[in-house]
Structure 1
Amino acid sequence: MTDQPLAGRTIIDLTTALAGPYATLLLAGLGATVIKVENPATGGETARNNAPYVGKQGLSLQRRDPDDMSVSMLVRGRNKLSVTLNLKDPLARPVFADLVRDADAVVENYSPGVTERLGIDYATVREINPRIVYTSISGFGSQGGRGSGKAMDSIVQALSGVMMTAGEPGDDPVRFGLPVGDLMAPLFAVIGTLSALMQADHTGEGQHVDVSMLGALTSLVACEPFEALDAVGIPQRTGSMVPRLAPFGILPAADGHVALCAPTDAFAHGTLRAIGRPELIDDDRFASRDQRVRHADELHEVIRAWCAGRPVAEVVEVLTEHGVPAAEVREPREAVRDPLVRDREEVVPIAHPRYGTATELTATGMPIRFSAAKAGFDRPAPALGEHNDHVYRERLGYSERQIAELSTHSVI
C-alpha cells in the first residue's frame, strides 16, 4: 500500500531471536519492505524452532508436519519477505552488496565483532551505499565489552536493576514475566532508525544507529528516582503497594485483585468517600499528600479491609463512580481478548500462511493509529526462502543461471 508511512522504504533484516525481529516487525507494520535474510545452513531464523507450533492439526508442542510453523515466527515474521543467504560464504558477499545497494536501512543484532568478520559491518556497507542507515541492537553496545558481549533478556534485567524494583523488601530478585529488555531495545532502535532516515533525507548521508539492551532498560530504571528514594529512606521495593503515592497499589478483593491509583488529593478523597469513610478526608493523617505518604500503611489497611469482602466488579464500580482510577487485574489470556484492543487492531489474530487464521491465538498488532495513513499487518509470516525468486530475480535482476549457481553452492 502506498498510503503507509514507510511505503517505498526498503529494510534489510539481518536479525534473529526477539529484539531485532520485533524492531523490523514494527518497521514492516509501518509499510517498509522488509527483506529478511536467513541462513539456509542453519534452518533460518532461530525463532522458527521455538515451540509451540501451529499447523493443519492445530497447536502442538512438537513439529508434527513440515508445514507446522512456530508461533514465535508467525508473530514476528508477518509482512516480511524471506530470502536465504549464507553470509558466512564468501560467495554471498556480492549478493549482500546487491541487497544493500538500493536499500534504505540495515538492521542487525549480531554480537559485537561478528559483522566485521562476515564483511557486512557498517563501514563495508557505507562504501556500497553512503545513504544507508545501519542499525545495531546488541546487549551492551557495538563497542563490545562485558565478557563475550552476548546478552539474554534475563541477563539484561539482572544488570539493569529492574529485578530489584518489584517484590517486597527482602524478597529474592523478581524477573519480569515480559522480556522487557528484548522489547524495549527494539522500540529505541525503531526511533533511532526513523530519525536517521529523516536526517539522511536532508543530508544525503546515512549513519550507524547503535542501541544496547542494557542501556535501553537501565535508562527506564533511571526515569524513576530510586536513588533519591533510597537516600530519604523510602523503600525501593514496595511489593503490591506504593507508599510514596498512597493510596496506590494492588488490593485483594473477594474474587480477585484490583489496581488502585489515587495519589492526588481529589483521587484520595474520592477513595475515602467510596469506601464509606468520608470523615477521614479531614483526618490529619490523610488530609494532604505528604501526610498520606507518612501514614501509607494505615491508609492502605483501611482500604484493604473494605475491598477484601467485596467482589472485584463491585469494588471497581464503586471507585469509578467516585472518579477514582481503578481496574480489575486480568490474566493475559483475558486481556488480549479485550474488544477495545481488538477493535483498534492493537492485538490481532495470528494467521498461518497455508491454513489461515488461528482464531484461538493472538499476536501483537500495530499500537499506533494514524488519521491519514494505514499501518498494520496484512501478510502472514513467510516460509524459509519463500521470496528468493521475487527478490533475487525480480528485484535484483539475477538470471535463472545465477540463481541456480548460488543454490548449487548452497549460498542461498
Structure 2
Amino acid sequence: MAHRPLAGRTVVDLTTALAGPYATLLLAGLGARVIKVENPATGGDPARGNAPYLGAEGLSLTRQHTDDMSVSMLLRGRNKRGITLNLKHPAGREVFADLVRAADVVVENYSAGVTGRLGIDYAFARAANPRIVYTSISGFGAQGGPGSGKAMDTIVQALSGIMMTAGAPGEPPVRFGLPVADLLAPLYAVIGTLAAVVQADATGEGQHVDVSMLGALTSLVACEPFDAFEEIGLPLRTGTTVPRLAPFGIFEAADGWFALCAPVDSFAHGVLAALGRPELTRDERFADRDGRVTHAAELHALIGEWSAERPLTEVLATLTRHGVPAAPVRGPAEAVRDPLVRDRGEVVPLAHPRYDRAGELYGTGVPIVFSAAETALDEPAPALGEHNAEIYGDLLGYDAERLAALAADGVI
C-alpha cells in the first residue's frame, strides 16, 4: 500500500448502487482506505441483492447459500472496509462525525435533500472536520431541481440527448447497453475529489464537490457539435456508418462484423487499394475528403459488397496490409479476456471471499498505469459489517463496551 498514490488517505463511503460505488472503487484501487458504510436495518447496499450470485457451486440466478455473494458486490466492494451504521438513528450522527474527523473524504450519492434531512450534509461534516472533502454524486446536482425526481441511468440517458445520437434516422431512441451515465459521473467525481484534496493540502480547507449524472453526460454530448450538424443538414443519427467521416463505420464480413475508420486521405486510399480498386483514388468522388463525404453512400456500399463475400480474417488482414485501421467487433466476454488488458491490470479476475475464482469471472481494474506507483483491486468485497471492530475499535478507539452498546441499540 505504501507505493499506491492515495496510501494514507481515508474515504468514508456512503454510496450505494453503481455511480457512487464505482467512484469509491477507483479511490480504493488507487490506495485509499475506503470505509463502506451500510445500514444494518436494511441489509446494506441494495446491490447485495442483485442477481447473479457467486458461491461454492459457481454462478446462479438466485441465492443458493447464505455465503453466496452478488457479482455486483463482488465487483464494486473490492478493497473496501465494510462497516454498519444506521444514519437514521439519533446516535448515528455522532458516530458519523467521528468517522469524518478521521477521514480526508466523504462520498455520497443520495437523492437531493436526503443528507440534509438526515443531518449529515456538508455543513455537518465541515463542522466536524474543516479539511473534509465532501463529494456528492446525484442525478441532477446536490440541490436537485424542479421536478427532477429520481435519477436512474436510463432516465439520464433520455434527458441528455445521447439516445438520439445512435441508431438510424426514423428508428426508436437507442439506450446504450453500458450504463454510461452511472459510470461517467463517478469519473468526474474522482477528478473533482482529488483536485479538492490537493487544494485542501495547500489551504487547510476542504469543500463540497458536486457532480450530476445529467451534467456529466450532457457535457460529453456537447463535445460533438450536433447542433452544428443539424443546422447544415447533416443527420444526427447515421446508423452503422458516419458519412461525414467516410469511409467510417461498422461493416459485415461473411462470418462476422468489423469496424473501419479511415477519414483521412492516406487511410481512405488504403481502403480502395484493399478493395482492388486503386484507380478510384483518382476518382473525384473519392480522391479527397469532401468528395468522399458527398458520395459516402456509394463508398460505403462498395466496402459492404466487397467484405460480405470474404471471411473476417481475410478482410482484416487485407485492410491491415494496406495500413487501414480496422478491428473485429467482439462480444464483452471475449473482450474482457484479452491478454493485453489483463496484463495491464485494466481487467482483473473477481474473487469470492471464500471460494476464490469460482466461475472465472472478470471485473474492472484500475485503467491507469503509473511509472512510480502501483494500483490494485486485490482484496475481496466485505461481508456486511465485516470490519466493524477494525474501524470502530482500531481507528476510532471505541472500546468493547461501547461497541456492544451501539450494536444493542441498533446503531451499528
Is the shorter-chain TM-score for this pair beyond 0.5, marking a shared fold? yes
Tell me, in whole angstroms, the C-alpha distance in 2 between the residues paired with 1:54 and 1:155. 30
What SS class does the counterpart of residue 397 from structure 2 fall into?
coil
What SS class does the counterpart of residue 352 from structure 1 fall into?
coil
CA contact (8 A) 2:58 2:359 kept: no
Tell me, in whole angstroms, the C-alpha distance in 1 between the residues paired with 2:144 and 2:241. 39
Q: CA deviation at 1:148?
A: 4.8
Q: CA deviation at 1:99?
A: 0.3
CA contact (8 A) 2:246 2:300 kept: yes
Q: What's 2:404 paired with? A: 404
Q: CA deviation at 1:357?
A: 1.5
Tell me, in whole angstroms, the C-alpha distance in 1 between the residues paired with 2:274 and 2:14. 55
For residues 51-66 of structure 1, what are the structure 2 equivalents within 5 Å?
Answer: 51-66=51-66
Tell me, in whole angstroms, the C-alpha distance in 2 between the residues paired with 1:137 and 1:59. 31
Q: What's 1:384 paired with? A: 384
2:196 is aligned with 1:187: no
What SS class does the counterpart of residue 284 from structure 2 fall into?
coil
2:279 is aligned with 1:247: no
For residues 347-362 of structure 1, what are the structure 2 equivalents within 5 Å?
Answer: 347-362=347-362
Deviates more, 1:171-180 or 1:145-154: 145-154
What SS class does the counterpart of residue 136 from structure 1 fall into?
strand
Give the counterpart letter for 1:31 in structure 2.
G
* RMSD over equivalenced CA pairs, Å: 0.7
Tell me, in whole angstroms, the C-alpha distance in 2 between the residues paired with 1:154 and 1:236. 20
CA contact (8 A) 2:140 2:148 kept: no
Give the counterpart letter for 1:401 in structure 2.
E
Give the counterpart letter for 1:133 in structure 2.
V
Tell me, in whole angstroms, the C-alpha distance in 2 between the residues paired with 1:304 and 1:62. 44
Q: TM-score, normalised by structure 1?
A: 0.99
Q: What's 1:100 paired with? A: 100
CA contact (8 A) 1:157 1:163 kept: yes
What SS class does the counterpart of residue 258 from structure 1 fall into?
strand
2:128 is aligned with 1:123: no
What SS class does the counterpart of residue 363 from structure 2 fall into?
strand
In percent, how many aligned pairs have the same letter? 72
CA contact (8 A) 1:15 1:108 kept: yes
Q: What's 1:364 paired with? A: 364
Q: What's 2:6 paired with? A: 6
Aligned residues between the structures:
412
Q: What's 1:268 paired with? A: 268
Q: What's 2:87 paired with? A: 87
The alpha-carbon distance between structure 1 residues 27 and 381, as it changes in their structure 2 partners (threshold 3 A), is same
Tell me, in whole angstroms, the C-alpha distance in 1 between the residues paired with 2:148 and 2:338. 42
Tell me, in whole angstroms, the C-alpha distance in 1 between the residues paired with 2:289 and 2:26. 41
Tell me, in whole angstroms, the C-alpha distance in 1 between the residues paired with 2:23 and 2:150. 18
For residues 220-259 of structure 1, what are the structure 2 equivalents within 5 Å?
Answer: 220-259=220-259
Q: CA deviation at 1:360?
A: 2.1
Q: What's 2:177 paired with? A: 177
Give the counterpart letter for 1:203 in structure 2.
T
Tell me, in whole angstroms, the C-alpha distance in 2 between the residues paired with 1:146 and 1:315. 53
Tell me, in whole angstroms, the C-alpha distance in 1 between the residues paired with 2:341 and 2:164. 31
Q: CA deviation at 1:314?
A: 1.0
Tell me, in whole angstroms, the C-alpha distance in 1 between the residues paired with 2:112 and 2:48. 24
CA contact (8 A) 1:346 1:365 kept: yes
CA contact (8 A) 2:56 2:358 kept: no
What SS class does the counterpart of residue 21 from structure 1 fall into?
helix
Once the two structures are superposed, residues 121-175 of structure 1 have per-residue CA deviations (whole angstroms, 9 ceiling, x without a partner) of 0011001100000000000001111425320000000000000011010000000
CA contact (8 A) 2:49 2:70 kept: yes
Tell me, in whole angstroms, the C-alpha distance in 1 between the residues paired with 2:233 and 2:93. 58
Q: What's 1:199 paired with? A: 199
Q: Which runs of 5+ in 2 are unaligned?
A: none
Tell me, in whole angstroms, the C-alpha distance in 1 between the residues paired with 2:359 and 2:44. 27
Once the two structures are superposed, residues 45-86 of structure 1 have per-residue CA deviations (whole angstroms, 9 ceiling, x without a partner) of 111000000011211111111100000000000000000000
Tell me, in whole angstroms, the C-alpha distance in 1 between the residues paired with 2:257 and 2:233. 29
Q: Which runs of 5+ in 1 are unaligned?
A: none
CA contact (8 A) 2:353 2:380 kept: yes
Q: What's 1:16 paired with? A: 16
Give the counterpart letter for 1:262 in structure 2.
A
Tell me, in whole angstroms, the C-alpha distance in 1 between the residues paired with 2:356 and 2:313. 37
Tell me, in whole angstroms, the C-alpha distance in 2 between the residues paired with 1:387 and 1:147. 39
Q: CA deviation at 1:359?
A: 4.8
CA contact (8 A) 1:139 1:214 kept: yes
Give the counterpart letter for 1:261 in structure 2.
C
What SS class does the counterpart of residue 211 from structure 2 fall into?
strand
Q: TM-score, normalised by structure 2?
A: 0.99
CA contact (8 A) 1:349 1:358 kept: no
CA contact (8 A) 2:102 2:396 kept: no
